[in-house]
Amino acid sequence: MSTTSNEHKVNLKRMVLSDWQFKQQGDNQWMPAQVPGCIHTDLLKNNKILDPFHGKNELELQWIDKKDWNYETTFDVSEQLLDSSHIHLVFDGLDTYADVYVNDQHILSADNMFRTWKVDVRSLVQKENNRLSIHFRSPINEDLVKLEQQGYNLPAVNDHSEDGGVGEKNLSVFARKAPYHYGWDWGPRFVTSGVWKEVYLEGWSDCRVTDLFIQQNNVTASSADLKALIEIESESAWSGSLQLSTEGIEIKEEVEVTEGKNQLEMCFTIDEPKLWWSRGLGEQHLYEFSASLLREDRVVADKSVRTGVRSIRVVQEKDEVGKSFYVEVNGVRVFAKGANHIPNDSFETEVTYERYKHEILSAVESNMNMLRIWGGGIYEYDAFYELCDEYGILVWQDFMFACSMYPGDEAFLENVKAEAEENVKRLRNHPSIALWCGNNEMDTAWSAYDENGGWGWKEQYAEDVGDKIWRDYEAVFHEILPEAVTAYDPGTYYWPSSPMSDWTGDENQHTSNTATSGDIHYWDVWHGLKPFEEYNNHVGRFMSEYGFQSFPEEKTVRTYAEEEDMALETEVMLHHQKNDSGNYLIKEYMEKYLPEPKDFSSFLYMSQVLQAEGIKTAIEAHRRKKPYCMGTLYWQMNDCWPVASWASMDYYGRWKALHYYAKKSFQDVMVSIDGTEQERVDIHVVSDILEEITGTLNVKLLNFQGEVVKEYVEQVHIPSNQAKNVLSLPTKKMLEGLNPSQLVLVAQLKQKGEVLDEKEHYFISIRDLVLDQPNIMVTEVLESTGSEFIVETDKLAKSVWISSENEGVFTDNYFDLLPGVAKKVQFHSRDTSFSPSSPGNIVVQSMYNFMA
């Protein structure tokens, strides 16, 4: 996948290098290589290793990262390119420790996966038969030396060093490389090497525009005050003009350019700009800005970028209980709804544009408006951010540091400084970037200012060593990274660590589950075995992490497991569960909330319903507390391999039950029924839209045969962008003389005859409901070309699952179906970007089919 989006138009010649081969250092046999790619995928495509994701093959492939590997290609250089004054060899991404040679001349030693490496090779290349060689040094062997020199381990709780055959040695912290490559509690350990982004020759003469940044100083509906920052590299001093253009605007100024690097500025205003909005609030208009250098009215160099004009702030203001924490877009408070994103594959280069688009469209279709790019993965490819721009998905962008403490030697800090500068500059034009965050969970894990706080990390070290580790932490996250954001993306908010209560440098800095400022990662449900109901009691200002696991569907499980592996405690099933207690926790919670599954296939289904019910409880608890709480991002959106995990969408992009539940719980106008207080049921309406809602709430108490037992009607008025408890019903009076095991409460909100939302509520655990076998009828809608169906039942059908032969998603799934209520669902094909399509053969089942 190309990682360069906005190309220069003139005076720049480019040639991507192809036809690569590779071999293990010391071997004689060269094999064809795919670039971009990595050593694991190249070995697989040459049938030298087994499928890394199948069974326990991961453990058999740990030898790969202990070896050195060579990559090579030969190339000719065109006359046109040779005519250039400068010919740069550009590596958009080398993973990670690499020595590079051109025609046997050493030109580069790389040591950071997240940086671009560029060398002028004009004096080294010839017209024909040039040879480019890259020697990748083993990241394990390289960093064992650094660990020995340091003399002590640094914390890295998700470094699966034992699986990698290096005992308890935490090596991931030394390499500027994707941390999740070393294993995580949802991912395998594949410590890759290779050319993971494009390699190309770039020729230029005279001058070139190297960067264009549209800095947005003040944006309102009436005007946008902008500043274009244009970086220019020139061979000599000269005079000419600089022209900036976009829709209906063309500005020209006379400029002086000196030899070397120049930075020019051009301030301008757009009257009544077409604003960029996050999803749900307006259009995602994108302007294309072009900067051109002219001499005697001839364009000698230019560059274009695409960005949206908008104002984004992270607002932290003191109030009566603490400090707010929310994102404001164009002056509007935004309740952030979404999930945490991890890399879509253990091998990044396997991720296609289609897979990215499927993820972003899945976010849009489920009513999200934010994804958090978590700090243990990669700074994503340009395509990811471009899709977020196009569809209005805000990005919480972590720097790539997670759940570890890092060294602080001069070479490491300089490397991080260069990485930060490059990636901030690369991403800063994307209107979707809402904030930069230094790291994941490191402030709270160390808890420097709380003697009794943290994860027990600081207690492992002598005082002088512990002090040094914290000073090194502050050098990166309180100095280098915020300085990079301030210098290169001024106006965008920087938050040192997630979660954190405040940036105070004292005991008030570290967060807790009861913090009234900052953001919170709440994990007492799951890791702490607390019941789902506890989600209602722990709501912070911004809930940036919380989660619950499930298995993927059987179709996915069978891609990594054979028939004999299809049981909860088999070696393969345990291997594809990277959280030590994961399978036990799913089973423990299932026994509390759901009926006993009749077999392992049923367990897979039940685990998804369980996960969905838990996260629905959390999402709706958070949204009901608006505006005290202004963000809910569950863990996690996606998977990097087929596995039991917290994801709502599995490795193959198949929506789990959670993703369908999230779609409903993230609706811009939502009904939420809260029965936490046993003496009453509270019905809330939450609105994220900018218009007020005046409508009717119809509430019916029904038995499982669909008969109305009681009915309530309430006229409701919800101001714009607010949440409100619109009706409270006394539970005891409502259920008097009735059996709660066969009752459901349904609340429906209508405005001008249109159903805005509808939710069901049960008075006891699903486990204790008396479910009979429903007769579910499915009818294809005429003239829908096989894409639309009416689903009906004669009695309550709980958690109806429609599975399809073809890959795609339904407009609704895992829903409760009531007698007398026809449900219309449409199938959207994955191949055609969520367009209506035929699902092929379908199977419709409900919870009754899976109960013992």
Per-residue exposure over 774-809, b if at least 16 CB sit within 10 Å of its own CB, e if not: bebeeeeeeeeeebbbebbbebbbbbbbbbbeebbb
- With H, G, I as helix, E, B as strand and everything else as coil, classify residue 786: coil
CA 201 from chain centre, in angstroms, equals 32
**Sign, CA torsion 529/532/538/544:** positive
- In angstroms, the CA 257 to CA 356 distance is 41
Whether omega for the bond prior to residue 511 falls within 30 degrees of 0, making it cis, is no
**Sign, CA torsion 180/186/192/197:** negative
Residue recorded with tokens 């009735």: 738
What lies within 8 Å, CB to CB, of 382 at 6+ separation is 3, 4, 5, 426
DSSP state of 319: -
> What residues does CATH 2.60.120.260 cover in the chain?
13-201
Residue recorded with tokens 């000419």: 240
Question: For 302, how many CA atoms within 13 A lie in the half-sphere containing its CB?
Answer: 19
- In angstroms, the CA 240 to CA 260 distance is 16
Question: For 613, how many CA atoms within 13 A lie in the half-sphere containing its CB?
Answer: 24
Output phi, psi for 628, to 5 deg: -60, -50
| Nearest one of 612, 600, 758 to 671, comparing CA atoms | 758
- With H, G, I as helix, E, B as strand and everything else as coil, classify residue 220: coil
CB 153, CB 169: distance < 8 Å: yes
CB-count burial class (<10 Å; 0-12, 13-18, 19+) for 404: buried
CA 309 from chain centre, in angstroms, equals 23
- In angstroms, the CA 685 to CA 673 distance is 9
- 3-class secondary structure for 155-216? CECCCCCCCCCCCCCCCCCCCECCHHHECCCCCCECCCCEECCCEEEEEECCEEEEEEEEEE
| Nearest one of 110, 103, 171 to 135, comparing CA atoms | 110
Work out the angle at residue 800's Cα, subtended by the Cα atoms of residues 794 and 806, and round it to the nearest 5 degrees. 125
Single-letter amino acid code for the residue at 139: P
Strands 97-102 and 105-111: what pairing? antiparallel
Specify the CATH number for 206-307; select among 2.60.40.2230, 3.20.20.150, 2.60.40.10, 1.10.10.10: 2.60.40.10
C-alpha distance across the termini of the chain, in Å = 48
Q: Which CATH architecture has domain 771-852?
A: Sandwich (2.60)
Output phi, psi for 457, to 5 deg: -75, -50
Output phi, psi for 707, to 5 deg: -80, 135
pLDDT at 709: 95
CB 354, CB 555: distance < 8 Å: no
Residue 35 corresponds to which tokens in the numbers above? 């670039």
CB 743, CB 702: distance < 8 Å: yes
pLDDT in tens, 442-456: 999 999 999 999 999
CB 838, CB 807: distance < 8 Å: no
Tallying the residues shown for the chain, one arrives at: 852
pLDDT at 12: 73
- In angstroms, the CA 421 to CA 485 distance is 8
| C-alpha to C-alpha distances, 313 to 270, 316, 438, 688, nearest whole angstrom | 20, 9, 17, 18
| Nearest one of 728, 721, 722 to 761, comparing CA atoms | 728
- In angstroms, the CA 146 to CA 96 distance is 15
Helical H segments across 625-735, by residue range: 657-665, 731-735
Q: In what order do the strands lie in the sheet with 117-120?
A: 13-16, 199-204, 86-91, 117-120
Residue 203 corresponds to which tokens in the numbers above? 């020729």
CB-count burial class (<10 Å; 0-12, 13-18, 19+) for 254: exposed
Q: Which CATH architecture has domain 13-201?
A: Sandwich (2.60)
pLDDT in tens, 791-848: 999 999 999 999 999 999 999 999 999 999 999 999 999 887 889 999 999 999 999 9
- In angstroms, the CA 306 to CA 518 distance is 32
| Nearest one of 359, 434, 391, 335 to 667, comparing CA atoms | 335
Residue spans of the chain under pLDDT 70: 1-11
CB-count burial class (<10 Å; 0-12, 13-18, 19+) for 24: middle
CB 270, CB 249: distance < 8 Å: yes
Question: What pTM was computed for the model?
Answer: 0.96
What lies within 8 Å, CB to CB, of 480 at 6+ separation is 413, 416, 417, 420
Whether omega for the bond prior to residue 96 falls within 30 degrees of 0, making it cis, is yes
DSSP state of 651: T
Farthest-apart Cα atoms in the chain, separation:
92
> What residues does CATH 2.60.40.10 cover in the chain?
206-307, 771-852
Residue 47 corresponds to which tokens in the numbers above? 């049938």
DSSP 426-485: HHTT-TTEEEEE--BSHHHHH-TT-TT-SSS-GGGS-HHHHHHHHHHHHIIIIIIHHHHH
